[in-house]
């Protein structure tokens, strides 16, 4: 049962890697080849956690694996494309064959597509649903029986602040990330009398990797009122939610975090306030630039 005593016992460990049953913990991190994935893997390695790292770029996985092994942990780099659901079972099987049972699953892989909703193709819509929502659900479904048998485990879903408040041109992405937050809530309630934990980590605009960094490289910067964070801070939050068994962690600078809390109590007011922050207008600019670039290519 997750009680105050149980949470304190987790926090009292020297690090996540010290597991009371085996003195070792194993994590599977998806989306490890880009964005915040590498820093999540590094943060877990710093805690003594052995790592199965997955992504689509085998060369990047091998380079990251070499860096992680230098910290003293065992690492299994396993290429996988989570858009192909048939690769999910082999990914888990190969991870456990190499390192042992998975104690921690970090569902980090994701894709985005900033565009007018009506301009997206069905294939683009389906890709976001498949990778951002369905694959994490299937992976979690795959590892849970083992966690139940061992009576312990933790699953982290990397969501987004966009999943707490949808903005123009981000509807499908926001919907998939909102789904992860609600899935986390449901599973926490379902497993509340066990030692299996579930957490969602919701970053804002992330500097240093991922979609927002690519936009910065193209000269597109979000308004300062929307806040930002870094890959390192997101990774630190992942470690924190596991250690403390937190239901959810926002990673962003003010004023967006209190604004999201206010949105639960006064949604109409926040709907009028957000245009002042410039979020919708920023994504309109991103969508317009991508459309213009596509027109040039075609």
Average predicted confidence (pLDDT) for the chain? 85
Residue 137: the pLDDT is 99
For residue 21, pLDDT over 60 is answered with no
pLDDT (tens digit, 9 = 90+) per residue, 123-175?
999 999 999 999 999 999 999 999 999 999 999 999 998 898 888 888 999 99
pLDDT of residue 193: 96
**Are the beta carbons of 61 and 50 closer than 8 angstroms?**
no
- Taking the C-alpha atoms of residue 176 and residue 120, their distance in angstroms, rounded to an integer, is 15
What confidence category does residue 15 fall into, taking pLDDT thresholds of 50, 70 and 90?
A: low
Place of tokens 């996540």: 16
Mean of pLDDT values over 87-97:
98
Q: Which domain holds residue 242?
A: 4-297
Hey, which residues are catalytic here? 173
Which CATH number does the domain housing residue 197 bear?
3.40.50.720
Q: How many CA atoms lie within 13 A of 206 on its CB side?
A: 24
pLDDT at 217: 74
What is the reported pTM? 0.85
pLDDT of 4 reads 34
Confidence band for 292, pLDDT divided at 50, 70 and 90: low
pLDDT at 24: 86
Q: Over the Cα atoms of the chain, what is R_g?
A: 19
Which is higher by pLDDT, 89 or 284? 89
17 vs 38, residue with greater confidence: 38
Is the backbone of residue 73 left (phi > 0), alpha (psi -120 to 50) or beta?
beta
How confident is the model at residue 38, as a pLDDT? 97
């Amino acid at each position: 049962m997750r009680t105050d005593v149980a949470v304190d016992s987790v926090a009292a460990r020297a690090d996540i890697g010290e597991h009371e049953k085996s003195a070792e913990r194993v994590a599977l991190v998806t989306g490890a080849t880009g964005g915040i994935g590498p820093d999540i893997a590094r943060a877990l390695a710093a805690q003594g956690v052995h790592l199965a790292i997955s992504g689509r770029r085998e060369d990047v996985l091998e380079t990251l694996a070499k860096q992680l092994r230098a910290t003293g942990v065992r690492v299994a780099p396993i290429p996988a494309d989570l858009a192909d659901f048939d690769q999910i079972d082999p990914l888990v099987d190969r991870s456990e064959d190499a390192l042992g049972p998975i104690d921690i699953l970090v569902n980090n892989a994701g894709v985005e597509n900033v565009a007018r909703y009506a301009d997206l193709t069905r294939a683009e819509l389906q890709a976001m649903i498949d990778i951002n929502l369905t694959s994490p659900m299937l992976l979690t479904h795959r590892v849970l029986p083992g966690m139940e048998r061992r009576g312990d485990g933790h699953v982290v879903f990397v969501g987004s602040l966009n999943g707490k408040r949808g903005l123009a041109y981000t509807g499908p992405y926001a919907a998939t990330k909102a789904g992860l937050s609600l899935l986390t809530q449901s599973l926490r309630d379902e497993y509340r009398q066990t030692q299996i934990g579930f957490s969602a980590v919701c970053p804002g605009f992330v500097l240093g990797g991922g979609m927002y960094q690519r936009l910065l490289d193209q000269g597109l910067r979000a308004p300062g009122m929307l806040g930002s964070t870094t890959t390192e801070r997101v990774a630190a939050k992942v470690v924190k939610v596991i250690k403390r068994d937190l239901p959810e962690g926002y990673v962003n600078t003010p004023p967006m975090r209190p604004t999201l809390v206010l949105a639960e109590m006064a949604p109409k007011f926040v709907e009028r306030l957000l245009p002042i922050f410039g979020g919708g207008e920023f994504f309109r600019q991103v969508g317009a630039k991508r459309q213009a670039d596509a027109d040039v290519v075609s």
